[in-house]
Amino acid sequence: MKNDELVTNALYQELFVENVAIYSKRLSRVDDLSSSLGVFDKTRKIYSNLTDDEKETITNLIKVVIADTASVVLGTIDGTHIPNNIDGDFELFYKNEQIQGDLQDYFLELVETNNVI
């Protein structure tokens, strides 16, 4: 496996396997729902009143947001997405190998292959 694919696979695993599991677990906690005013705790309070189908919808929305955000970042690094006020090129190296150019494509291929969204 090439280094750019290795990095993309690692990011995918971190975001969609590990982080989604962490978010789901944290949202499902029902302890102390009334005492905190933080955004995550307010969301947990709303989430606790949802049906299982509605909870799955929220989890899927989280996956969409993760995919879109990662795609923008990787596309910016690759040079396929140009945010406002960014007019230069990026260079990303891993193990002394330049890896930008296909990161967004590899990432989105993983998302599509695994039916994440």
Per-residue pLDDT tens over the stretch 72-92: 999 999 999 999 998 888 999
Q: Are 15 and 23 in contact (CB under 8 A)?
A: no
Q: Percent of the chain having pLDDT more than 90? A: 74
Report residue 8's pLDDT band, with 50, 70 and 90 as the boundaries: very high
- What pLDDT does 36 receive? 64
Q: Which of 11-15, 26-30, 56-60 has the lowest mean pLDDT?
A: 26-30
The span from the CA of 45 to the CA of 32, in Å, is 9
CB contact set of 11 (below 8 Å; sequence gap of 6+): 70, 74, 107
Number of H helices, E strands in the chain: 5, 2
Say if pTM beats, i.e. exceeds, 0.85: yes
Report residue 66's pLDDT band, with 50, 70 and 90 as the boundaries: very high
Q: Show the CA angle centred on residue 41, arms to residues 39 and 47, nearest 5°.
A: 105
pLDDT at 33 over 70: no
The span from the CA of 47 to the CA of 13, in Å, is 25
pLDDT at 38 over 90: no
